[in-house]
Structure 1
Amino acid sequence: MITLILLIIIYLAFISLGLPDSLLGVTWPAMRLEWGMSLDAAGLVAILTTGSTVLSSFASGHVVKRFGTGKVTFISCMITGMALLGISFSPSYFWLLLLAIPLGLGAGSVDTALNNYVALHFKSHHMSWLHCFWGVGATVGPIIMAQCMLLTDSWRFGYRTIGIIQLVLALVLFMSLPLWVKHRKISASSIIEDNQITTEKPIEKNVFKLKGVKYALSTFFFYCAVEFSVGLWGSSFLIHVKNISVETAASWVAMYYGGITIGRFISGFVTFKMSNKQMIRRGQIIAMTGSILLLLPLPHYALMGSLVLIGLGLAPIFPCMIHETPTRFGKNNSQIIIGYQMAFAYIGGAFFPPLFGVLARTVSLTLFPYYLILCIMIMFLSSETLTVHTKNI
């Protein structure tokens, strides 16, 4: 019963983690008009949020080792909720920039802490469903905001509502703190059947000395480079290169995100039959196939299928890579390494899509499929090299 209750709380925490992630894009048009800001001023907000998340991810391994997953998750959720409430009362753009920092710090800590906890104490299908629930949160967030804006004609009430949801969850997490201690004692006396760790590596002060770590970081870097790039540039590619209407392109990119979310739900069941390594490899091949199809002169409906295919391919890669980390590098090192992996993932997602934007502006947007193929190829080679380096584990 303790395990079930804690698992439900973790799932709820990941839904709440996804809730704020897509709010800025939805509310920025109204925010900038209210404050008289330019369209590109949102970029600085995104940079501050992502940069804070990266710093938090790098530090979270050490923080969690000292304070425990339950306390870190509770404090991070509380910080996130307070930051969202603060944004809802912000009198100017300056305050939005200021509050973007705790918003990023809270997100990075809870993301890393929960990912490692699930990787250590639960089976692979739970990790896939965990990330599926993040997709649910990222989908529901804009819906809540849209409804609040319809009712009040203001973006502030939407931020306030989601901030309150975060603080309510923080209260639930505070009340659940004894459960984390009890569950750790229960799981310490049992063996994880899926991805069983038979030999434990000693704690490594410099985790970069562990064989294969750099290839794991590279895999996460290029995974998020692909995921974020399709989300950012997929619509522009369809409109300007494939002559798809704006409305149709937007709906097809939404189908791409749907492919990731549904794919992770399905992946949870597939992991009963396949190992994490098999899921990662096949996911990369499927994503590569979808990217290659974008190059071909296919009918318009087939282009939608290409984006969905990329989403389905990407779906199992991130959760299965995370879940495989304790097996590859040892559970004593997994918290630190997962923190680094999350940080590199955020860096790849923050910097590579804008870099392609520069390439598209100076050369051509038609390079988009080639860019995706190159990133997926590097991700695939990094992942396969990592498997070679850890094959005896």
Structure 2
Amino acid sequence: MPLSVRSSALTFLAFAMPVSMFGVMWPDVRDRFGQSLGALGTVSLVYGIARMSTSGLGRAATQRFGIGRCFIAALAGLVVADLVVSTASSWPMFLVGVAAIGVVSGLLDSVGAGVIATLGDVGSAGIIHGSYGVGATIGPLVVAAVPDWRLSLVVAAIVAVAALVLSVVARDAWPAPPIDAVSRDAGRPPTRATVVSLTMFFAFIALEVTFGNWLFTYLTEARSIGDTVAAIGVSGFWGGTMIGRLSLVSGRVRALADRLGMPALAVTGVIGTLLTTVAPGATVVLTTTMVGLSLSAIVPTLSARTADRVGAEHAQQVSGWQLLSANLGAIGVPFLTGKIIDASDARATIVVVVIVFVLGFPALVAARPKPESTTSDEVSRPQLR
């Protein structure tokens, strides 16, 4: 495995951990700072806005400073931000730390998206995005295992230090984008393909983040499931995402995902979501894992095949827009979910997830490759015009 992929993978793992912890540690945090149940939506909003503020800067930052320096600086910031949240003595200080995590995560995600678009390999994309799933799986388990939520952020900071060390080792190992990908004379990206891409990223990132962030609250408040099982259920969701994405390194798995099609996988994920509303006791872990597994291939496949949809000369630019769109979904939908929950109850989580799926599904169908374009390993996707 190339050093650049290994470093990107550990980086994604590191910035996934703190945000995946927020939903599980929320009962203790809200008691400590005297907040309402739905105020978790405010945490998501602060994190999301901060992350979006830097999610479009990757292309410009790497052209000026280089990929290695950007990763090193942002990871150093992540270490500090994790420690700020872990030592927060007031609600405003907690939100400042959350915002700091969002700022550095947005830059890391943006730089990583450029790397993925340049590599153009679904297997590498699966490893990198799958490692985000590893971090998101570990995060809730760390919160459940340690005696205090503050210590969980210290653990996240230690992991970020490890990613920082590897990024220093890999500082000169990063791939350069092709010349036509940075050309200023490439013209405008194809409109239809761009709209399809932005819609898919908005909807399916919003779906993942909303389900992942509010799942613990839904299970404990709406289903009256115990904290331990609920935490494992959250880890099951992110664990399913992790396993599915890491398995994309296998050509057979990629071929299977292509044969099934992204729309079919998305439908299976929604079925798993609905089963989560009725699964008894600990079996809810199976249904949440099913959701993660079903959705796992969608985002890395969409990311790696950006150039197939819009052309190599537009891939870097559109990958930045896709991140902005994804962050809009990750900000707005969980925040609105919190407001709806405060006005009703935690059952609204499932309703919101299904609505977002219905809105995003047509774009996913529109991006399907033609049957004759499928090979045994990779799919060469025609550009949408």
Instruction: Give the TM-score band, short-chain normalised.
Output: 0.7 to 0.9
What residue is the counterpart of 2:77 in the other structure?
79
Of 119, 122, 128, which residue of structure 2 is paired with 1:121? 119
2:153 aligned partner, one-letter code: Y
Cα deviation, residue 216, structure 1: 1.0
Superposed CA deviations along residues 134-171 of structure 1, whole A, max 9, x for unmatched, are: 12112223444555x44xxx554543443244234324
Cα deviation, residue 273, structure 1: 2.2
Cα deviation, residue 268, structure 1: 3.5
Structure-2 change in CA distance of 1:370 and 1:8 (3 Å): closer
What residue is the counterpart of 1:8 in the other structure?
6
Find out whether 1:245 has 2:225 as its counterpart. yes
Of 144, 148, 162, which residue of structure 1 is paired with 2:156? 162
What residue is the counterpart of 1:334 in the other structure?
315
Cα contact 1:271–1:279 (8 A) shared by 2: no
Q: C-alpha separation between the residues in 2 aligned to 1:275 and 1:170?
A: 33
Q: C-alpha separation between the residues in 1 aligned to 2:345 and 2:34?
A: 29
Structure-2 change in CA distance of 1:287 and 1:341 (3 Å): same
Mapping 1:164-243, distance limit 5 Å: 164-180=158-174, 183-184=175-176, 203=184, 210-234=191-215
Structure-2 change in CA distance of 1:228 and 1:121 (3 Å): closer
What residue is the counterpart of 2:377 in the other structure?
none
Cα contact 1:88–1:160 (8 A) shared by 2: yes
Give TM-score, length-normalised by structure 2: 0.79
Give TM-score, length-normalised by structure 1: 0.77
Q: C-alpha separation between the residues in 1 aligned to 2:79 and 2:10?
A: 14
Superposed CA deviations along residues 191-243 of structure 1, whole A, max 9, x for unmatched, are: xxxxxxxx9796578866643212211111111232233334555666677x6
Q: C-alpha separation between the residues in 2 aligned to 1:159 and 1:245?
A: 25
Q: C-alpha separation between the residues in 2 aligned to 1:251 and 1:327?
A: 38
Cα deviation, residue 99, structure 1: 3.1
Mapping 1:1-393, distance limit 5 Å: 4-31=2-29, 36-39=33-36, 43-121=41-119, 123-144=121-142, 149-150=146-147, 155-180=149-174, 183-184=175-176, 203=184, 210-234=191-215, 245-246=225-226, 248=229, 251-269=232-250, 270-274=252-256, 279-291=261-273, 305-359=286-340, 371-387=352-368, 391-392=382-383
Q: C-alpha separation between the residues in 1 aligned to 2:93 and 2:275?
A: 44
Q: C-alpha separation between the residues in 2 aligned to 1:92 and 1:283?
A: 43
Aligned residues: 371
| SS in structure 2 at match of 1:21 | helix
Cα contact 2:18–2:156 (8 A) shared by 1: yes
Superposed CA deviations along residues 68-102 of structure 1, whole A, max 9, x for unmatched, are: 32221111111111222333444433333333333
Superposed CA deviations along residues 315-357 of structure 1, whole A, max 9, x for unmatched, are: 1111111111122223343233222212222221222234345
Structure-2 change in CA distance of 1:375 and 1:366 (3 Å): same
The more displaced of 7-16 and 313-322 is 7-16
What residue is the counterpart of 1:196 in the other structure?
none
Q: C-alpha separation between the residues in 1 aligned to 2:333 and 2:313?
A: 32
Cα contact 1:70–1:177 (8 A) shared by 2: yes
Cα contact 2:41–2:336 (8 A) shared by 1: no
| SS in structure 2 at match of 1:216 | helix
Gaps of 5+ in 1: 190-198
| SS in structure 2 at match of 1:177 | coil
Cα contact 2:79–2:160 (8 A) shared by 1: yes
Cα contact 2:55–2:323 (8 A) shared by 1: yes
Q: C-alpha separation between the residues in 1 aligned to 2:112 and 2:42?
A: 28
Cα deviation, residue 381, structure 1: 0.5
Cα contact 2:181–2:314 (8 A) shared by 1: no
Cα contact 1:208–1:214 (8 A) shared by 2: no
Cα contact 2:117–2:316 (8 A) shared by 1: no
| SS in structure 2 at match of 1:273 | helix
Q: C-alpha separation between the residues in 1 aligned to 2:62 and 2:71?
A: 9
Q: C-alpha separation between the residues in 2 aligned to 1:236 and 1:321?
A: 30
Q: C-alpha separation between the residues in 2 aligned to 1:304 and 1:357?
A: 23
Cα deviation, residue 64, structure 1: 2.5
| SS in structure 2 at match of 1:245 | coil
| SS in structure 2 at match of 1:321 | helix
Cα contact 1:229–1:349 (8 A) shared by 2: yes
Q: C-alpha separation between the residues in 2 aligned to 1:356 and 1:155?
A: 24
Please identify the structure whose Cα radius of gyration is greater: 1
Q: C-alpha separation between the residues in 1 aligned to 2:288 and 2:205?
A: 16
Q: C-alpha separation between the residues in 2 aligned to 1:113 and 1:207?
A: 22
Q: C-alpha separation between the residues in 1 aligned to 2:149 and 2:276?
A: 37
| SS in structure 2 at match of 1:211 | helix
| SS in structure 1 at match of 2:255 | coil
Structure-2 change in CA distance of 1:256 and 1:157 (3 Å): closer
Q: C-alpha separation between the residues in 1 aligned to 2:345 and 2:152?
A: 38
Superposed CA deviations along residues 90-121 of structure 1, whole A, max 9, x for unmatched, are: 44333333333332111011112113212322
